[in-house]
Chain A
Amino acid sequence: MRTAQEIARSVQSGTTSAISELTTALRAIRERNDDLNVFLHVDEEGAIEAATRLDERVGRGENVGPLAGVPIALKDNLCQTGIPTTCSSRILEGWRPPYNATVVDRVLAAGAVPVGKTNLDEFAMGSSTENSAYGPTKNPLDPSRVPGGSSGGSAAAVAANMTPISLGSDTGGSIRQPAALCGLIGMKPTYGLVSRYGLIAFASSLDQIGPFARNVTDAAMLLEVIAGHDPMDSTSLPEPSPSLVAHVNDGVVGKRVALVRELLEGSDDDVVASVNQAVEVLRDAGATIVELSIPELKLGLSAYYLIAPAEASSNLARYDGVRYGLRVDADDVAAMNEATRTAGFGAEVKRRIIVGTYALSAGYYDAYYGQALKVRTQMIAAFHRAYQQADLLIGATSPSVAFKFGTKTNDPMAMYLNDVFTIPTNLAGEAAVSVPFGTGEVGLPVGVQLLGPGRSEAQLFAAARVLEIAEERS
C-alpha cells in the first residue's frame, strides 16, 4: 500500500481518485477483518459518499487538503456524528454520537476519508485489546499474538494495510505500545497539543490523541492536521498547529540523546539489542550520546495505577443508564444504576473503578491518591533535570515484542508492567514516539522509544526519521 502522502498527492493531482483509494481500503478490510477483528464498525456508505464528494471537488479544481482522499481508521473512543461509538463496551452499545470529535472534524477538513471505528480495550483500559467486549484484535503480523493496546485496532488497521494512517489515544502508552508491537510509528503528543473534545474520557489529565502510520512523514502529516488550539477543550494549548513535516529531515547533528537506564531495565535481550543499535545509528548521524539514570521513572507505574483509575472512577460515573447507552431496568433509580453498570462494564473496567474509588475514599486519599500526585511532581522535576543534560531520551517502548493471547489476562499486574516505559511521559504531559527498529523473537518488530520535553514533536520526528532511514538501508 502506498503512503498517505503519495495517496494525497495523486488524488489532488487527479492521477487517482479518492473513490479508487477507498475501494482498495475496503477490499483489504473485507479480506481480513473477519479474521483479525480490527474494525467494530465499517462505515462503507458514509465513506463512499465522502470520497465521491472529494473527487467532485478535485474535478472542480479545488484544493481538498493535505490528506486528500486518504482512508483513515478511528479508534472507537472518538465520536463521529451518527456512527456507532462503543469504546468496546456493552454499556455504550447502540449509541451514536450527536457530534464529531474535533480531530474528526479536522481530518475531514483535510480531505481524509474515515472508513470506520477500530477495536480497543474497553474504555482504553488495557495493553492487549483483550479487554474488548467485542473480542480481541489479532496482530496482523502473527495472529496468535496480541496487537498491543489499548489502541490495538487502530494499530492493526495500519499494519494490515487496511488504511495507511489511523488515530488512537494514549493514556499510559496506548498508542506507542501497539505501534511497537505492530511495527509502526506511533506518537503520544504533548498534553494539550491535540484537542480532546469528543474523545471519550478515561483519565483526563493523561489522555492524548495521536497518530499511527507506517512512516514518519505520514505520522507528522496527520499530527499537523489534528494539532492546534481548540476552544472546545479548555486544556488545549493556546498556539496553532506546529510545523512538523517540514522538519522530518532535520536530522540529529549536534543533538544530545540520553540512553536512560530505567527505560530499558528488565527488557528482553532482543529489545535491548535493538535499542543499543538505534543509539549507534543516532551517534553515527551526529548526535552526542550520554547515559543517564532517572530513578524517579520507576515510581511511575505505581503512581499511574492510582491516578488513572482515580480519574476513571470519576469519569465513568456518567454511565448510569440515564442519558445514553445501556439501561437495565429495575424498580428504582439506584437499583437501575447498579444493574446497568454491573451488566455494562467488563472485569478490567470494574477493577479500575474499584481501585480508583478506593484510592479517592476517605481515609485512603492521602496515602494513595495524594501520594501519587506528589510522585507526579517529582517525575516532572526529574524529566526537567534530564532535559538540561539531553535534548531527547531514548529507551524501549515495551519490554518485549508482541506476546501470545491469554498469557497475561489473569494477572493484571503482569499486564500493567507492559506500560512501565511509556507511563512516565503521560504523567509528565510530555511527548514520545515509538519507532520500529530491528526485530526480536520470530522476526517480530521491536519498538524504540524516543522521548522529549513538551512541544518537542518536530525533534522527535526528525530523530525517528534517522532511525527509519537506517532501517530502510539495512
Chain B
Amino acid sequence: MTSPLRRDDVAHVAKLARLSLSEEELDLFTFQLGEVLEHAADLNSLNLDGVVATAHPFGLINVVRDDVVTPSLNRDQVLAMAPDAEDGRFAVPRIMGEAP
C-alpha cells in the first residue's frame, strides 16, 4: 500500500499525539512524512505472508522478580521535580466541570 499521506491525515494524527501544528508545519510535515512513507513502500511490495513478526530481538518470555518488598523512589524527591504537586500528589488543571 502506497497511499500518499494527506494533509488531513497529518492533522488528525498530530491531534491523536497531542501536538498542535501550525499551517506551515502541516504543509512541511505532510511533504516530509510522505517521503518517509514513500521510502517505506519497498516493504509493502514484499510478499511476507506467513513470516512471523519480531517485536523484540530475543522473543522474551515473562521476566518476574521475587515478590519481596524493596525500597522505591523517595516520594518527596519525585514530587519536587513535578511542575505542580499538592498533598503528596501530582497536581493538574481541572479535568471535569464543577460539581452540580
- On A, residues with C-beta under 8 Å from B are 95-96, 98-99, 191-192, 205, 231, 234-235, 298-299, 301-303, 305-306, 313, 317, 320-327, 329-339, 341-342, 345, 347, 350-351, 353-355, 357-358, 361, 367-368, 370-378, 380, 412-413, 416, 427-430
Contacts and interface: CB of A to CB of B under 8 A. Distances in A.
Contacts of B58: 191-192, 235, 429
Interface of B: 1, 5, 9-10, 13-14, 16-21, 25, 29, 32-33, 35-37, 39-40, 42-44, 46, 48, 51-58, 60, 63, 65, 73-74, 77-78, 81-84, 90, 92-95
A335 B95 CA distance: 10
A374 B46 CA distance: 10
A191 B53 contact: no
Give the secondary structure class of A's interface.
Answer: helix
Nearest to B55: A373
B5, B17, B48, B55 interface centre (most CB from chain A within 10 Å): B17
A375 B60 CA distance: 19
A353 B17 contact: yes
Contacts of A191: 57-58
Give the secondary structure class of B's interface.
Answer: loop
Given A205-B57, A234-B63, A351-B32, 5 more contacts: A235-B63, A306-B40, A332-B95, A338-B19, A341-B18
Contact of A358 (B13, B20, B21, B57): B13
A218 B31 CA distance: 45
A361 B9 CA distance: 11
Contact of A367 (B1, B17, B32, B60): B1
B9 A331 contact: no
The 10 closest A-B pairs by CB, nearest first: A429-B57, A327-B83, A373-B53, A234-B63, A374-B48, A374-B51, A376-B54, A98-B77, A377-B54, A367-B1
A157 B57 CA distance: 31
B52 A374 contact: yes
Contact of B16 (A95, A98, A361): A361
Given A329-B93, A330-B93, A354-B14, A375 B82 contact: no
